[in-house]
Amino acid sequence: MAAAFASNLAQKPTEILSGGSNPAEQVDPEVVTVMAEVGIDIADEVPRHWTDEAVADADVVITMGCGDECPVFPGIRYEDWPLPDPAGRTAQQTRPIRDEIRTRVVELLESLELLTDD
């Protein structure tokens, strides 16, 4: 959800990658549903495993509770967003998680000056 929001909201060119230390085999159907409700289609997305190379090349890495499983490299900005995993939740339970992720993505993009064309 975070990568989808960032891709849709960033107003300056940026590369956004999504992955995890222990990704599911597919995007949770309720996550697809609640993202479609806000006009973002992630039905064809596939969870990916983070590689050390992808993390090492990043400027910013957002984690969501992966703890010691996430690779850490010096000089990279890390933020941990301890949010509930939406997997297995109903759409009603997933919407507040989606909305919190959107809020955090907006704050991140503002801090990176990716929400203005100035």
Give 2-111's CATH code, choosing from 3.40.50.150, 3.40.50.2300, 3.40.50.970, 3.30.1300.30. Answer: 3.40.50.2300
Residue-wise pLDDT for 29-40, tens only, equals 999 999 999 999
**Domain layout of the chain by residue ranges:** 2-111
**pTM to 2 decimal places:** 0.90
The predicted structure's pLDDT at residue 41: 98
Residue-wise pLDDT for 91-118, tens only, equals 999 999 999 999 999 999 999 999 865 4
- Mean pLDDT to the nearest integer, 39-50: 93
> 3-state SS of 2-13?
HHHHHHHHCCCC
